[in-house]
Each structure stands twice: as structure tokens, then as C-alpha cells.
Amino acid sequence: MALRRVRIDGDPILRKRSKEITKIDDKLEILIQDMIETMRYENGIGLASPQVGILKRLIVIDIGEIPIIAINPVIENAEGKVEDIEGCLSVPNLRGKVDRPERIKVKYTKQNGEEITMDVEGYAARVFCHEIDHLNGILYTDLANTVFDYDPEDDDE
């Protein structure tokens, strides 16, 4: 496993649409493990492959007991609307208030090739939407109602 460089807003790769993954192989497994390691090193809760310079439809999310690895994720349904604050590893030192669905139905392929459909709500729905946007070349700042400076040194955590 290796740490990958997180691309920062202004890098053109973050504005491109990612390609569907057609083969789950050792090369993809290495990318998955590198993304998980990079996300954790950077204290993130989610990471999309374009953020590490790879235009493939792959996201990793770590907000529970084990990371979720979603290959070719698609939001099939969205309900409700909630505004909350978001940040992003690719947009350091900024935060923004973004409207996201309260509930989504997301379909994706797991590492073992199994396709699943999952109902997700609340914070997890927000994270899925944020990461899937990356696969379509969208940053949260494009959708934000307001954006403001953020200094991680000011966190009480």
C-alpha cells in the first residue's frame, strides 16, 4: 500500500467525468487499498478516485465499522433535502453549506463483484452524494449556498 497525492481544486482532473470500471483485478485492489490508506492519513471520511488522479468510478467511505468500497456507484432515487456544512480534502481550508438529499437509494458493485442496492439516509447519504459528485467532475463548492474559510486549528476535537 502507498499514500497517493490528493489533487487540489484547480487540478483539471477534478473536473472530468470518470469512466466506468469494467474489470475488478489486482490493479484495482491496489488502488482501493491506497485510497483507504490515503483517506485515513488525511483524516478524511470519503475519497473518490479522481482525487488521487485516477478517472475511474470508484469511491471509498469510512464512517462506520469498516470502509465501504463502491465501484460504479449510481444514485437511483433521492428524497428530501437537508442543508449542512461540508468540507473536502481537495478543497482545503474552506467549508460550505450544501443542500443534499435526506435519503438515497444507491446501487454499486462491491470488491467481490456482488452488485447491491442500499437505502442510505442522513450523514451517510450526504457522504455518498459528495463522493459520487467527484466522479462527475463536481465539487461541493459548485453546489454550496455559502462558502467560508475554515482553519482546522480552530477545531475543538
Which CATH number covers residue 85? 3.90.45.10
Rounded CA separation 70/57 (Å)? 8
User: What's the whole-number mean pLDDT along residues 54-58?
Assistant: 98
Q: Is position 91 within any domain?
A: yes
Q: Is position 7 within any domain?
A: no
User: What's the whole-number mean pLDDT along residues 119-137?
Assistant: 98
In the predicted structure, residue 107 carries a pLDDT above the cut 60: yes
Residue 105 pLDDT grade (very low, low, confident, very high; cuts 50, 70, 90) = very high
In the predicted structure, residue 151 carries a pLDDT above the cut 90: no
User: What's the whole-number mean pLDDT along residues 39-63?
Assistant: 97
CB 73 within 8 A of CB 107: yes
Q: Structurally, how many domains does the chain consist of? A: 1
Round the average pLDDT of the chain to a whole number and report it.
96
User: What's the whole-number mean pLDDT along residues 140-147?
Assistant: 96
Q: Is position 133 within any domain?
A: yes
Q: Is position 21 within any domain?
A: yes
Whether 115 is a known active-site residue: answer no
Q: Is position 4 within any domain?
A: no
Which one is catalytic: 29, 115, 131, 157? 131
Q: Is position 3 within any domain?
A: no
Q: Describe the chain by its helix, strand, coil percentages, rounded to 5.
A: 30, 35, 35
Please give the residue range of the domain that contains residue 142. Answer: 12-154
